[in-house]
Structure 1
């Protein structure tokens, strides 16, 4: 956390430097630079150097802010042998296979998204009418969280379950709803 704060302050410093440099070029009478090294350069050369460095800093800050809020497509797990990338499709298929083992739920649809370092899993399915729905939803949520954390190493922040319908015992056996 301390690294992130220091990094943020460094980028704020770069932003301030770039804005100061651009201000120096546009309004030269507002700042007085009287260093001996700067007296050997003409005013035009000095302005071009400051303007170039300032625009480079400004583009670096803008690039960093844009990439800071960019969503990563894959989950990355660092191991001793390198980086393992796991796509959302792989995670969705894993959760789908996990839920297909349960005979009390059917018509399963799974999607997921990544926000920061956390994953959110969205599950939609039909459930049998004879079950206690709230207990079953809680069991599915806990099962998905535990399986992904234990087997793949992905920390799931939340599992959102939507019930698309309640099926009877006959309908789930015959496939007709």
Structure 2
């Protein structure tokens, strides 16, 4: 949340700078600055136009909905949201009692689907085998349920704990 607030304030600052730049180059008498060289005004105007365009693009991109994923079949096109993918991955991970605190991200990279999972593992088993089985289960489930070919499944382990064996 903190990163988003700082990023938002930075974009507001860029927007305000671009507006002041427009005012300075188009109506310099309002700001009372005595730099009347044409080159300085042209460079300032170009920078301000660039900042203004970047700000507007970012502003409009905040209000556009992500398209999701398309699956084409003989009956037409099916649109699948990222929330649906995260929900299915969450149900896969919830089946395993050794996995806790999973954070799931999905997206497109170069037109191919990827899934990234950050989790905590509580287990005495081999961690490499465990992550391979998680990757395979996610890839297989998304392919069988949604007919999505997942290019890459990343499993990041944030914490590994050893399960305590009950003493008899």
TM-score (norm 2): 0.55
Aligned length: 99
SS state of the match for residue 148, structure 1? helix
Q: 2:116 aligns with which of 104, 107, 122?
A: 122
Shift of 1:168: 3.7
State the distance in 1 between where 2:143 and 2:123 align. Answer: 30
Q: 2:68 aligns with which of 57, 69, 74?
A: 74
Q: 2:140 aligns with which of 123, 143, 146?
A: 146
State the distance in 2 between where 1:143 and 1:129 align. Answer: 18
Post-superposition CA distance 1:8-45 (Å, at most 9, x none): xxxxxxxxxxxxxxxxxxxxxxxxxxxxxxxxxxxxxx
State the distance in 2 between where 1:76 and 1:129 align. Answer: 37
The runs of 5 or more residues in structure 1 that have no matched partner are 1-71, 171-177
Shift of 1:117: 3.5
Larger Rg: 1
Contact in 1 for aligned 2:135/2:155 (Cα 8 Å): yes
State the distance in 2 between where 1:141 and 1:130 align. Answer: 19
Contact in 1 for aligned 2:98/2:123 (Cα 8 Å): no
1:97-112 matched pairs, under 5 angstroms: 97-112=91-106
State the distance in 2 between where 1:128 and 1:134 align. Answer: 13
**Who is 1:166 aligned against?**
160
State the distance in 1 between where 2:101 and 2:142 align. Answer: 21
The runs of 5 or more residues in structure 2 that have no matched partner are 1-65
